[in-house]
Amino acid sequence: MTEAGRSQPTSTARVRRQPQQARSRARVEAILAAADRILSQEGYEALTMRRIAEQAGAPVGSIYQFYPDKSAVVDALGRRYLDAFKTTIDELVERALAGELTDPVAVMIDVYAELFRSQTGGVALWAGRHLSPELARADEASNMLVADGLQRIVEHLTGGPGGREVQRATRMVVWAANAVLHEVFKSDGEPDLETVEELKRMLGPYWEDLRGRLVAARA
């Protein structure tokens, strides 16, 4: 459980053996980098063990030394993407606690959009969430990380725990942002960044209404 009592999503990569030597670690890095490139450039359905081997410049058998199947590679990549999400959201929470954040929804959207922009492999992975239960869980885990961070920020800015109301509201914000950003950062063209600004305009009044209700309830 987190310090606020909420469970954090976990991800455990299914590996045959952990790389111990520098050469093995470099091979695993090359495998995951190759998988990320395929996801970024060709999408989830193009990701196969043979294509990963081709991109990594390695025999297929060397991949099986570490990962028993494609799903295990996806698990490992998903954990990396989630780790990056968690680091970014934790930094955002620290900014809020330090008094550097007054418009959490707009800043969260900017941060979330940057994660989409910089992690094109991750976006392709989450876009395939309808293809398997594992991908659906990974997509939900990323949403939960952002929603939990936003909930902590909202509770700090409004003076205390908000219970189910804040939990519901922050998840609604993240679900809406996630759906729009998936459309904005589709791989078939340049992202329409003006739509990101429209998203802020849409969610800004919702945040102001929520803050007003919470502050009034605590007065």
Structural domains of the chain, with CATH: 15-68 (1.10.10.60), 74-218 (1.10.357)
For residues 7 and 47, give the distance between their C-alpha atoms in angstroms, rounded to a whole number: 31
Q: What is the pLDDT of residues 72-106, one digit of tens each?
A: 888 888 888 888 888 988 998 899 889 888 788 88
Q: Tell me, what's the pLDDT at 198? A: 95
Q: Tell me, what's the pLDDT at 31? A: 92
Q: pTM for the full model?
A: 0.74
pLDDT of 217 over the 90 cut: no
Q: Tell me, what's the pLDDT at 108? A: 86
Cβ neighbours of 71 (radius 10 Å): 13
Q: Where is pLDDT greater, at 1 or 64?
A: 64
Which spans in the chain are helix H?
Answer: 22-42, 49-56, 60-64, 70-97, 104-118, 120-127, 133-158, 163-184, 193-218
Contacts of 111 (CB under 8 A, 6+ apart): 88, 89, 92
For residues 53 and 76, give the distance between their C-alpha atoms in angstroms, rounded to a whole number: 16
Q: What is the pLDDT of residues 128-178, one digit of tens each?
A: 777 677 677 777 888 888 889 889 998 888 888 878 999 999 999 999 998
Q: Tell me, what's the pLDDT at 12? A: 44
What confidence tier does 120 reach under pLDDT thresholds 50, 70, 90? confident
Q: What is the pLDDT of residues 3-42, one digit of tens each?
A: 333 434 333 445 545 655 677 788 889 999 999 999 888 8
Cβ atoms of residues 37 and 121 within 8 Å: yes
What the block records as the tokens of 167 is: 């939990």
